[in-house]
Amino acid sequence: MVMLDRSLRYIDSDGHILEHPTEMLEFAPASYRDRIWQLEVDNNGREWVVYNGNRRPATGLGHWKPFFDAVVEEEMVMCLHIGGGFGAIQNAPDAPIDNLIILATQVSALAAQDLLWSPAFKRYPTLKVAWSEAGIGWIPFHLERCDRHYTNRQWLGHDFGDKLPSDIFREHSLACYVTDPSALKIRNDIGVDIIAWECDYPHSDSVWPNAPEFVHQELMAAGCPNEDVQKITVLRWTPLWRVAEMAASAGTRVRRRGIWCLLPHSPTS
């Protein structure tokens, strides 16, 4: 049995004070104590989170808080592009560039994990995140794993209220993809209301110059009805970027290409 000092206070990533999960003590490894976030208070009364020898303010957001404040105040969509996470891919020195290009979308799962389990979405209920060029195939597995973890390990002290982590993710996310034929077939498991198609022009992943025809064919192959096509190609991203509002201020108007509006048929999903 591992004996822990119960006089210490511990907190989770949301800043909640935790009691030790006593029912797990008999199974806990010796390093268990070091993996719990410990709360310390300095001489000025300021609280700090201590984890693995590192100290940071107990806000859970650290030096990113001013950034989140500004994004929410200005009603901006936070675009998290895969390129910002390339450093997380640790390739061998002689690895081909193919590794970086193919694995790039997977780093979005790391960013999603950071945000979903941080206090960000709880403290900023209107915060919107666009997972730029992230693809959507990883989302069902990741969310199912998050929900399983949350319900199976309640002793960790996380609190998503009466919702699951997957619910919170969908409330705050716009899942962007360039081409993802398999994932489109399970769009309802992802949440068709959060999916948005993007072209990626002028990068090498782009489907330019035949983008409309390409995406139309892919959506039809996945059995998307007209309603889903409208959501994925137009209706989900334009309100977030206030396209109509910006167009009006510029004295222009938004026009849709006919291919999005008039499909030859509406197959059932």
Whether residue 129 sits in one domain with residue 182: yes
| CATH number for the domain harbouring residue 139 | 3.20.20.140
145 and 87 both lie in a single domain: yes
Count the Cβ atoms, other than its own, within 10 Å of residue 43: 5
pLDDT at residue 265, as a whole number: 43
Distance CA 68, CA 100 (A): 29
Q: How is residue 171 written in tokens?
A: 């409330």
- Check residue 255 and give its pLDDT: 53
Task: Tell me the pLDDT of the chain (269 aa) as tens digits.
Answer: 233 343 444 444 444 444 444 444 444 455 555 555 555 677 776 666 666 667 666 556 766 778 888 889 988 899 998 877 777 778 888 999 888 888 888 889 989 998 999 889 988 999 999 999 999 999 999 999 999 999 998 877 788 999 999 999 999 999 999 999 999 999 999 999 999 999 888 888 888 888 999 999 999 999 999 999 999 998 887 777 776 666 666 665 555 544 444 344 444 44
Looking at the fold, whether 70 and 196 belong to one and the same domain comes out as yes
The boundaries of the domain holding residue 93 are 60-261
Residues 51 and 93 in one domain: no
Tell me if residue 130 falls in helix, strand or coil: strand
Contact 209, 200 (CB under 8 A): no
pLDDT of residue 35: 53
Q: Determine the pLDDT at residue 253.
A: 57
Q: Quote the number of domains for the chain.
A: 2
> So what's the pLDDT on residue 30?
55
